[in-house]
Amino acid sequence: MSGYEDVHRHSIERPEEFWAQAARAVDWEAAPETVLREGRWFPDGRLNTCHNALDRHVAAGHGDRTALIYDSPVTGTIRAFTYAELLDQVARTAGMLRDLGVRTGDTVVIYMPMVPEAVVAMLACARIGAVHSVVFGGFAAAELAVRIDHARPVVVLSASCGIEPSRLVEYKPLLDAALEQAAHRPAHCVILQRPQHPAPLVEGRDLDWEPAVRAAAPAGCVAVAATDPLYVLYTSGTTGAPKGVVRDNGGHAVALQWSMSHVYGAAPGEVFWAASDVGWVVGHSYIVYGPLLAGCTTVLYEGKPVGTPDPGSFWRVVAMHGVRTLFAAPTAIRAIKKEDPSGAFAKKWDLSSLRHLFLAGERLDPDTYRWATELLGVPVIDHWWQTETGWPVAANCVGLGALPIKPGSPTKPVPGYDVHILDPDGADCPPGVEGAVTIRLPLPPGTLTTLYRDDARFTASYLSRYPGHYLTGDGGHLDDDGYLYVMGRIDDVINVAGHRLSTGQMEEVIAAHPDVAECAVIGVADELKGELPVGFVVLKAGAGRDPAEIERELTAMVRERIGPVAAFRRAVVVGRLPKTRSGKILRATMRDIAAGRDYRTPSTIEDPAALEEIAEAL
């Protein structure tokens, strides 16, 4: 019996004993006496997440250890912060928030690029028990406005601009536009003035970040209940109210601390780089909290896999900073592979520090797996998880003794997760038979506890379909060896370069065009980004305009409303959409056509020729 098998069995058969032991690695102001009650972990414990990420390491004599390396090829900046320096910045920023009236339990929206102040802002909120909600900088004003209205922040923290390889993105006008659209009015906005493009401030509402922080007295840590929220992170749903995943303090700290050594094999003092963005769950878990809880050095990279300046940029960062563990999306590796198929740029750098490459965010295709394995000569490990879970559901846990790799599988369920494949009647599928991927309750610590301001939707979305199980929304199967294979979403959320985006949300934007009668958006396979959205549009009778012109307008509308992150570049005008007689659009059949899969024309279809038109358009 392998180490993994024993540990996983312990976690499933005696979960309270298992997680009580894991919780000893975390500092508590009041240690929990109860481990699990009614699905909530450590309900009588009290702690502070920022203390666990910073203060305790400084108190233990590790203040001179590097906590954060900021590497920005777009500005030509590399800067390192020790644990003591980062603690000082966080404490002063927390003091500024306190002076602006932010109290324990209040929300703060963070809308920032990949700069150290974004990390500082998250930790400063955690320090005083405030709840942060980070909005990805690629989102447009309308999407930001919706999140501001839902989160109702006391303060918004932002920056004057973000910097892309070929352009500068003005954040402040986007924030101003969002606040004009939003019903909620935060008391203050604090703006980091970047020298590349300072922004005008609104008198009485906006503050300049640096002098505001400089004037503040440091704030101490405020202990909160383990079950109190640490952050809200909005994830893609269908149309309607935003879907804010709530992460608690106690379970989150315990789970991420455990995962750093057992899943990733990372040790204190090592350099851990998650090449993601703080606006996504990977950035929350494995740029900010996980590495710092574990006493590692984390890398914050403001750049791209290619173009900043070349496809060797990732390998430069690994070599220059001695990265031991690299975590990226398959999209990033595919982009590098496309620009440098021979791996010539990687061969320019000494990559001997690298021990593992972990990939997650979308399916890792075997070709990319083989290319990266041959190029780097280290284990390339596919693993799978969600915004909702906050840390891996399935992985090759290298800290427990690596298992044999099977390309196409993220290996086996991580300890704490009791994964099942269920058929429509709720029965377990036999090996090799595809069904709904579920997790038997209780979910382990660190996973979502509810949806913000919407407990009923949490139950309806995740817990009602299969009583006693959490529905992941993905389909897949287990093989005879217990390896999990995740085959894709069972809803209408698509995965663009690791970012989950709602096709329903895009349809809502397209349907607002005055010439559009109806529409459907599906994801189609893309070699680089995994999936790209394609919109099929039926025009109103008598529209009388050039379809190409309308298609361009629709592309611009989606970009403006949802943002460039949607990568929406193609709208196709068709005569009709394939529907059932009851009026349901056959999106699943359309996806089969787009993927080149065999499909059966449903007996309930209203007009079989509509499917032929879709096939011709694709």
Q: Which residues pair with 413 in a beta bridge?
A: 394
What backbone torsions phi and psi does residue 436 show, to the nearest 5 degrees? -85, 130
> What six digits make up the tokens of 543?
């529209």
Vertex 6: Cα angle to 4 and 8 (nearest 5) = 65
CA distance 559 to 561: 6
DSSP label at 131? E
Residues 6 or more apart whose CB falls under 8 angstroms from that of 48 comprise 29, 126, 127, 129, 221, 222, 223, 224, 249
Distance between CA atoms of 329 and 469, rounded to whole angstroms? 28
Write down the domain spans for the chain.
Answer: 3-303+383-437, 493-617
**Segment 118-174, tens digit of pLDDT:** 999 999 999 999 999 999 886 889 889 999 999 999 999 999 999 988 889 999 999
Of 528, 538, 518, the closest CA to residue 567 belongs to 528
Give the integer Cα–Cα distance in Å for 183 and 189.
16
The answer to whether the CB of 282 falls within 8 A of the CB of 361 is: yes
DSSP 8-state code for residue 80: E
Closest CA to 558 of 528, 534, 523: 534
Q: How many CA atoms lie within 13 A of 251 on its CB side?
A: 30
Q: Which residues of the chain have pLDDT under 70?
A: 1-2, 138, 236-240, 491-493, 500, 580-584, 602-604, 606
CATH number of this structure's domain 3-303+383-437, picked from the four choices 3.40.50.300, 3.10.20.30, 3.90.1150.10, 3.40.50.12780: 3.40.50.12780
Backbone angles phi, psi at 529, to 5 degrees: -95, 0
Q: How far is CA 446 from the centre of its chain?
A: 14
Question: In sequence order, what are the beta bridge partners of 570?
Answer: 534
CATH top-level class for 493-617?
alpha beta
Q: How far is CA 294 from CA 54, 80, 131, 305, 572, in A?
A: 10, 18, 22, 26, 49
Per DSSP, which regions of 316-468 are E strands?
Answer: 323-328, 356-359, 380-382, 394-395, 412-413, 419-422, 435-440, 450-451
Calpha distance 126→447 (Å, rounded): 18
Q: How far from chain centre, in Å, is Cα 526?
A: 20
**pLDDT, position 192:** 98
pLDDT of residue 583: 58
In angstroms, the CA 417 to CA 445 distance is 10
For 456, the enclosing helix (H) or strand (E) is helix 455-458
Give the pLDDT confidence of 471-522 residue by residue, as tens digits. Answer: 999 889 999 999 999 977 776 667 788 776 777 778 878 988 988 877 889 8
Q: Do domains 3-303+383-437 and 493-617 have the same CATH topology?
A: no
Which helix or strand (DSSP H or E) is residue 290 part of?
A: helix 290-293
Q: What angle do CA 533, 538, 542 make, to 5 degrees?
A: 145
One-letter amino acid for residue 599 of the chain: Y
Compute the distance between CA of residue 478 and CA of residue 476 in angstroms, rounded to an integer.
7
Which H helix or E strand runs over 422? strand 419-422
**pLDDT of res. 237:** 44
Burial readout 91-118 (b: 16 or more C-beta within 10 A, e: otherwise): bbbbbbbbebebeeebbbbbbbbbbbbb
Q: What angle do CA 598, 500, 563 make, to 5 degrees?
A: 115
DSSP 61: I
Q: What region, left, alpha or beta, does residue 410 occupy, with left being phi > 0 and alpha being psi -120 to 50 degrees?
A: alpha
Query: DSSP letter at 518?
Result: E
